[in-house]
Amino acid sequence: MSLNGKVALVTGAAQGMGRSIAMRLAIEGASVVATDINGKLVEQTTIAIRELGHEAIAVGADIGDIDDIDRVVDEALNAFGRIDILVNNAGVTRHADIMDLTVDDWDRIHRVNARGTFFCLQRVARKMIDGGRGGRIINIASIAGKGYSGTSNAAYAASKGAVIAMTHIAAHQLGGYDINVNAICPGVTRTAMSQATAVQRSQNLGISLDELEERRSATIPIGRANEPEDIAEMAVFLAGPGSRNITGQAFNVDGGLIMH
């Protein structure tokens, strides 16, 4: 178990990529602090982890709220005394044409995806610096942040571009403390959030969900969408010893949809 003795904080861990990441980190030996705005559902993640024989606690929290971020960090430290790994996974979106986006859409998306991600990074990095043991910060961005035109909307793409930019700057400024900061940029991934946008997109196009998924898979060079576990595997690598000299990078996990 490559992460034995480590403590990992995973946001948006109730379902989808966040749940898969939390489970895989635990399987690799990490104690897990799983947080999500859906407190009841994220508790199911920690129950599953504990059933596998690993330590985990659940914290219901809104990552767009700074006070909630501080509370999550405090609860993690109270439970385990340290945070070695942060996975900034919490995110929101909706399917919308650029001309249909509202001010409320923009504020809601950036509140969680950009603002929340940054202040989680900042608050946890402070504790990593104080601990003097270094750490790993993994931000879940998106190929939308690199200009993928199939994104759910322009505000979401902008928020994920912000995540990529803050990853680069944080890696530069935190490297001296032995804190590695990287981003994962998923492509089309089968999650509850992506399913909701797919349903809306298929209705707008007047086609079935199956036909939409066939069209979407046909655009992916490898011929298939991601499963949440594909993202979890990359997160485990970036959290583990094999990535000790990798920082400031934004890795695509997308079956070849974009190649930069």
As a whole number of angstroms, the distance between CA 93 and CA 197 comes to: 8
As a whole number of angstroms, the distance between CA 146 and CA 260 comes to: 8
Q: Which two tokens stand for residue 189?
A: 């991934």
Catalytic positions are: 156
Give how far Cα 103 sits from Cα of 20, 106, 107, 108, 155, Å.
Answer: 32, 5, 6, 9, 10
β pairing state of 85-88 and 135-140: parallel
As a whole number of angstroms, the distance between CA 131 and CA 168 comes to: 23
